[in-house]
Amino acid sequence: MTKEEEKFRSGQSPSWEERITAPKDNYERWIDRHNHKLELVRTIGSLIAATTGVLVFLKVFNII
């Protein structure tokens, strides 16, 4: 086991340089596989929030 792996497994927070070479856990691999889907969900959520905000604004000023 390398020095970086020992530091990673001991629970210490490795620097970003060490993190690149350290093994990835299952959660991080899952995030990497589904990154584009998660970006799409964030984008759709932002669009819904913006649309809702505009509708509330228009309703407050009796435009709709």
pLDDT per residue rounded down to tens, the chain (64 residues): 566 567 666 666 667 666 666 677 888 888 889 999 999 999 999 999 999 999 999 999 999 8
How confident is the model at residue 8, as a pLDDT? 61
Residue 5: predicted pLDDT: 66
| pTM to 2 decimal places | 0.56
pLDDT at 25 (0 to 100): 84
Range of the domain at 58: 25-64
CA pair distance 2, 8, nearest whole angstrom: 10
**Residue 21 contacts by C-beta under 8 Å, 6 or more apart in sequence?**
2, 4
In a domain, 10, yes or no: no
Residue 31 lies in a domain: yes
Count of structural domains, the chain: 1
Tokens at 40, concatenated: 């799409």
Query: Is the residue at 14 inside a domain?
Result: no
Number of Cβ within a 10 Å radius of residue 20: 9
